[in-house]
Amino acid sequence: METLNRLELKTKFDNYKVDNPKSRIREAAKQLGVTEADLVSVSSNNILLRPDFTSILNNIHTLGEVMALTRNDHAVHERKGIYSKATFHSQIGLITNPDIDLRLFMHDWKFVFAVNENERESIQFFDRFGDAIHKIYLTDKSNHDAYTSLIEKYKEDVNNIKVELKPFNASVEKLDEDIDVEGFQTEWKNLKDTHDFFGMLKKYGISRRQSMRVAPKGFTLQLSNNQAETLLNLVSSSGIDFMVFVGNNSCLQIHTGKATKVVRTGPWINVLDPMFNLHLNDQAIDSLWMVRKPTNLGLVHSIEAFDRDGNLIIQFFGKRKPNIPENEDWRKLVKELENQHETN
């Protein structure tokens, strides 16, 4: 971004914030026709860091307790905890402990900033198109001295970035008659591990949403869209542990535990617990599915929501441990959703 353009954008952003004091930076970027990274870069309070992502991620643990945030257009996932060291295999990263559980897809990671929003400090990662990937916010329990040291270690001398223009990718699904439906259904029924599901979709050239429709009989069921809220209320009232997956193209964040306080605010269903917050715009759900996948330990059930463009918004699973079958309490809850759907 040229100097003059930076000054102009900063002025426009400052004026926008005066007129829209409660607007989020993601919405401001849309309204101003720029990216979120562009707006972060023009603020004098923010510091561009060197894109040493592996090293920075492996130093986050020095900050102590923080809040990890990952989102897409329709769901925001916030989890407090202490980061453990990241492990990487090629372009795939993994951070996993009972509190902070992340899958990192590094191919498009490009920028990282230390951000100060009204004294709320964070480390924020962006892709090459200027979209936010993942944000790490300090809490009252964080080590602020370690945060300052991290900034000093990685800060760039010049706070200037150049984002790439995101290509337009129309989502075009194969015609059903062009799919080897019989082969796909047979392979689905013979799955041994849920992690093999993505590879199976790729093999047959099927989108995840399309797979819901061409699945073998009895392995998927389209629910009513409002049953996402029903699900969260059932989890809250039953007190069971479950798993919540929210991601974007570059990061997937997972919560394993409870959802106790469920509150609706307009189009958003919110989980507002001390260590876990979720914000789900269920008005953006175009289809909601119950999905069964075979494994060598029996069936695994998930609830999966898609938007109108076929993007996966959120997934819910029962709490699972290695080499242990799916939790029966989760199966009962999914069955209750199925029964409710059939009686409506």
Query: How high is the pLDDT of residue 46?
Result: 95
H/E stretch holding 139 reads strand 132-142
- Which fold, 176-343? Heme iron utilization protein-like fold (3.40.1570)
Query: How high is the pLDDT of residue 7?
Result: 87
Q: Kindly report the backbone phi and psi dihedral angles of residue 52, in degrees, each rounded to the nearest multiple of 5, phi listed first.
A: -90, 70
From first to last of its 344 residues, what are the pLDDT tens digits of the chain? 554 488 899 999 999 999 999 899 999 999 999 999 999 999 989 999 999 999 999 999 999 999 999 999 999 999 999 999 999 999 999 999 999 999 999 999 999 999 999 889 999 999 999 999 999 999 999 999 999 999 999 999 877 899 998 887 766 788 888 899 999 999 999 999 999 999 999 999 999 999 999 999 999 999 999 999 999 999 999 999 999 999 999 999 999 999 999 999 999 999 999 999 999 999 999 999 999 999 999 999 999 999 999 999 999 999 988 788 999 999 999 999 999 987 76
Per CATH, 3-85+110-154 and 176-343 having the same topology is answered yes
Query: How high is the pLDDT of residue 158?
Result: 78
Q: DSSP 3-state assignment of 247?
A: strand
Query: How high is the pLDDT of residue 166?
Result: 85
CA dihedral 333, 336, 340, 343 (to 10 degrees): 170
User: Would you say domain 3-85+110-154 falls under CATH 3.40.1570.10?
Assistant: yes
Measured CA distances, 339 to 216, 224, 232, 236 (Å): 20, 12, 16, 19
Q: Where are the domains of the chain?
A: 3-85+110-154, 176-343
Dist. CA 111–CA 248, nearest whole Å = 16
Beta-strand (E) ranges in 90-131? 92-96, 101-105, 109-117, 120-127
Dist. CA 180–CA 212, nearest whole Å = 15
Positive or negative, the CA dihedral 12, 18, 19, 20 is positive
Query: How high is the pLDDT of residue 3?
Result: 47
Sequence letter at residue 60: I
